[in-house]
A = this chain, B = another copy of it.
Amino acid sequence: MTVLDSTSNSHDSDAEAAPELPEVEFGVHPGSYNHWSFDVDGDVATVTLKVDEAGGLVPGYELKMNSYDLGVDIELYDVVQRLRFEHPEVKAVVLTGGLERMFCAGANIRMLAQSSHSWKVNFCKFTNETRNGIEDATTNSGQTWIAALNGTAAGGGYELALACEEILLIDDGSSTVSLPEVPLLGVLPGTGGLTRVVDKRFVRKDRADIFASKSEGFRGDTAVAWGLVDATVPASKFAEEIRDRAQQAAERSNRATAAHGVELTPIEPTTTDDEISYTYVHATLDRQGRNVSITVKGPQDAPPADASAILEQGVDYWPMAVTRELDDLILRLRTNERDLGTWVLRTEGDIDTVLAYDAQLREHADDWFVNEIVHYYKRTLKRLDVTSRSLMAIIEPGSCFAGLLLEIALAADRQYMLEGTYEDRDEEQTPAALVITESNNGLFPMGNDLTRLASRFWGRDDLLEAAVARSGDRLEATAADEIGLTTMALDDIDFEDELRIVLEERSSLSPDALTGMEANHRFVGPETLETKVFGRLTAWQNWIFYRPNASGPDGSLRRYGSGTRGTYSVERV
């Protein structure tokens, strides 16, 4: 099929007058925050949202009533990360708002109305990942997040609260929690609200139905009775109650104590029009072929001696550095390079050195910093799993897909491995090998709680056991192929031809169909709250976002606040 530039196939659901999308960068720091602040007092941090109305990422809307856009959420992501890495002393996090009577009004509607479909979808994905990250901090970092709703939490504002372990609502006679998206905007709550209400807070589903179709939401009594919040607290006792709850959470925490945190220094890749280059991660953008070559480099040096030496290296410790760079690259490419549909994933380095780091992560698993790195790498791999790009792993001589780096190959949709060496290159090459380690057996579970190996061999426990039994072996192409770790193992006569054909074929297919196909294949087996949000909820939301009832010229999103209400086709589909 022939392929048009994305701009030439415009669609009435996309905002025609949308401003040019900015190149989004994801690196921020507390000194640059426009919308958030946080204070640490002993083992409790207080994170406060006070959105700068004029500080939208894109022109065209004002962020009134603590509503948010992608820029606000990028700062929140930074807050979450800094609390985990820079503040080992923090064991409970209070999330609250800096406005009177309005905790957070959710995603800014004018922003949604003027945004292209892809911007809306990317925005929701990132915000979902950040909320999952908050839950991950509670579960795996001993940093329990508590929502202190000092005013109304509407839509995305309430969904932010839902990501916290406890939700306390001020009892001031007017503040409510609500999910007004369905009645007011004709779309779904976009960051897991429907799912968390029934599957996390166990609100009865008929009540969830009423709640999500009632724009004004509920005040304290009903909200508590139905389980939408944990408690309401009179304004006069609010601060005290929050402090008590935070203190109790901190006391329950198993977070390891530490001398000091690790400063998250800026990540500053060198970028040109077709390259994004970090210390250990390098990306070459092929705009003609519409793909990106991503190479992850192994460590240069042997790992540091012990936990304190690891902490000393801080952000320069290889597993930490490589994770931060990969995270930043994924976010940039996803948001800014939407026409590059295939990512080709390679590694480069010494397998033994990678294995030494891999073992070290397990050896020091109870060290707070190592624990943070492991979960950060896990979350970064999960970003790959939900990225709407075709992922192709290329396993060649000089690669180091071992242990933690093997996960990158396993996250890919396919794995191509060279058998032997490239005859026309360096004769001294060693053939590529894959190495499974204990890390692949549980350190970095996917969103569905399976390891990537278990997901690969879903329903075939015999094959999974056979693969795990080869842990530690250097599996060259024939062996790797035999136990099912590669999609194809080819000698150098066929290898490059095959790759060229695969990339050409992939770029000829419908990007939409590929997104749907990959989303279905990547998550085999069981489902969790997380995969339900990214699978069921997101897919329905994408459909709704694209329908004229929401995004057409007369749809609810465009008409919102105009004084003229949206018009709907009445047909149920």
Contact = CB atoms under 8 A, between A and B. Distances in A.
Interface in A179-236: 181-183, 185-188, 194-195, 198-199, 202, 204-210, 212-213
Given A4-B567, A539-B542, A543-B543, 4 more contacts: A1-B186, A183-B509, A188-B517, A206-B412
A527 B529 CA distance: 10
A525 interface: yes
Given A1-B565, A183-B509, A541-B516, A413 B206 contact: yes
A183 B507 CA distance: 11
A204 B487 CA distance: 9
Contact of A209 (B459, B507, B518, B527): B518
A55 interface: no
A414 B8 CA distance: 46
A213 B213 CA distance: 40
A87 interface: no
A572 B187 CA distance: 21
A513 interface: yes
Given A506-B213, A527-B526, A544 B512 contact: yes
Interface residues of A, number: 103
Contact of A512 (B515, B543, B565): B543
A457 interface: yes
Contacts of A1: 186, 556, 565-568
Contacts of A12: 11-12
B527 A532 contact: yes
Contacts of A565: 1-2
Q: Report the 10 A-B pairs with minimum CB-CB distance, sorted nearest first.
A: A202-B459, A186-B510, A539-B539, A516-B540, A527-B527, A6-B571, A9-B569, A543-B543, A535-B536, A1-B565
Nearest to A448: B527
Contact of A540 (B339, B509, B519, B573): B519
Contacts of A413: 205-206, 209
A533 to B, nearest CB: 10
A526 B199 CA distance: 9
A486 B212 CA distance: 18
Given A4-B569, A524-B199, A487 B206 contact: yes
B517 A572 contact: no
A199 B524 CA distance: 6
Interface string A533-573: 00111011111101111101010100000000111111111
A310 to B, nearest CB: 35
10 contacts: A1-B567, A9-B548, A11-B548, A182-B513, A186-B509, A188-B520, A204-B460, A510-B556, A513-B544, A520-B536
Contact of A505 (B213, B520, B536): B213
A82 interface: no
A338 B3 CA distance: 35
A129 to B, nearest CB: 16
A9 B206 contact: no
A511 interface: yes
A272 B573 CA distance: 24
A549 B513 contact: yes
Contacts of A181: 513
A101 interface: no
A121 interface: yes
A255 B117 CA distance: 52
